[in-house]
Amino acid sequence: MIKIYDLPVYMLGSFGHAGIDWTHSLLDNHKQILIMPAFSFFRTLYKIEKINGISIQKLSDNKYASEVLTDIFYLDDSYRLKRRKFIFDDKQKEIFKSEVFNFLENSNDNIIRKLFFAIHYAFSKLHHINLEEKKCIVIHEHVSWHYKKYFEYFNAKIILIFRDPKAALGGGILRMKNSNTSKILNSFQFDTMILDMLCAYQIYLEEKNSGKAFFLQNEKMCIDLKKEILKLSSWMNIDFNSSLLEQTFMKKQWLGESSYLAEDELEKPPPKNFYSPDEVEKRWRTVLSKKDIIFIEVVFRNYIKDLNYTFDNNLNFFKIIISYLDFLFNYQHQEKYYINKYLIILRNVLRRVFMLIFKEKIANIFNFK
């Protein structure tokens, strides 16, 4: 229990379809890294509080907290995917619950830190992980607007992976459309993807010279994975190992995921050259309209410049104004309208204005997970 408190914390973050699960899978089997299967700590707390209606303060009851956490990890559908599942039967469930309770009973830390380290400690005990071998904890936080909480509670460092926003949104829009019965992208799904990308870029601007953050780019990893991972392992002060070039979850091979090949995780390897720049571009161009491409380039024009991506369009004042209007008023679909449709559209427009100005602050106001 003392050892786990000594481990430095790294938050692995990004936005949808940038390659965060891929990066996670490369770190999964390294002997010096303690990393759980795609476990998002602050997103889980959000689910407990906002969706399950349980105040975080109620988790100061150690027995109750151990039961709530174990039930989420064992029963919630989101933790049954291969890249997230780590409690496999009722016996393991009871072991995990007992170890969470034991840790909480023996810690005098604040409730957020207690819960974080209790979960990682119980995971380690459940899977017979030797903490003496570990040099750090890596926590995969699914959305990027939580990153400041990791500075506040854990004095953490940040690992972010970026990708051409057109490629990321092409895959994201396709995935979200296919997840809906109507096959139409919902406004909230669209806004979540945009906000996540804006917040990730904000981290880049704030932390690029701080020494607290390391930035990966999906495209550079596809070209020369070993070169990029060597730089990352050096920055993390861990030994380079060939496991950092292999994709696993819970030490078992993982073949990845792609919106273009499957609903979720792949059952067989992707075709040869599937992730080559030309093939990637061909795919996102089948999803994005010309109007989509130009508003993406307008909204993320500084991101594209800073990270050396290419523009399709020559942007002028007129195009920028028109594209911001497209961004504000397009993708307004909603499955059900509980109040007047036009009031919902107005709400969505205001939400997008606030997203551009306030970024991560807006996540709590509009209940982004």
Phi, psi of 335 (to 5 degrees): -60, -40
pLDDT tens per residue, range 327-359: 999 998 877 766 677 888 898 999 999 999 988
pLDDT tens per residue, range 293-339: 999 999 999 999 999 999 999 999 999 999 999 999 999 887 776 66
Write down the pTM of the prediction: 0.93
Single-letter residue type at 299? V
Q: Is the four-CA dihedral 70, 76, 77, 78 of positive or negative sign?
A: negative
Q: How far apart are CA 53 and CA 14, in angstroms?
A: 27
> Among the ranges 54-63, 224-233, 268-277, which has the highest mean pLDDT value?
224-233
Q: How confident is the model at residue 238 (pLDDT cuts 50, 70, 90)?
A: very high
Q: For the chain, which domains are there?
A: 2-164+200-253 (3.40.50), 167-191+273-365 (no CATH)
Q: Is the four-CA dihedral 163, 260, 38, 242 of positive or negative sign?
A: negative
Q: How far apart are CA 283 and CA 167, in angstroms?
A: 8
Q: Is the separation of the CB atoms in 56 and 111 below 8 Å?
A: yes
Neighbouring C-beta atoms of residue 199, cutoff 10 Å: 25
Residue 243, pLDDT above cutoff 80: yes
Q: What is the pLDDT of residue 142?
A: 87
Q: Any idea of the CA torsion for 51, 77, 66, 101, to the nearest 10 degrees?
A: -150
Question: Kind of pairing, strands 9-13 and 33-35?
Answer: unpaired
pLDDT tens per residue, range 12-46: 999 989 999 999 999 999 999 999 988 899 989 98
Residue 185 C-alpha from the chain's centroid: 20
Q: What is the pLDDT of residue 363?
A: 79
pLDDT tens per residue, range 94-143: 999 999 999 999 999 999 999 999 999 999 999 999 999 999 999 999 88
- Closest residue by Cα to residue 41 from 114, 128, 94, 132: 114
The DSSP element (H or E) to which 70 belongs, if any, is: helix 62-75
Q: Is the separation of the CB atoms in 205 and 192 below 8 Å?
A: no
Q: What is the pLDDT of residue 362?
A: 81
pLDDT tens per residue, range 130-176: 999 999 999 999 888 899 999 999 999 999 999 999 999 999 999 99
pLDDT tens per residue, range 181-226: 889 999 999 999 999 999 999 999 999 999 999 999 999 999 999 9
Q: What is the pLDDT of residue 338?
A: 67
What's the Cα-to-Cα distance from 329 to each of 8, 202, 203, 355, rounded to whole Å?
Answer: 44, 24, 27, 14
Residue 274, pLDDT above cutoff 70: yes
Does 1 or 195 have the greater pLDDT score? Answer: 195
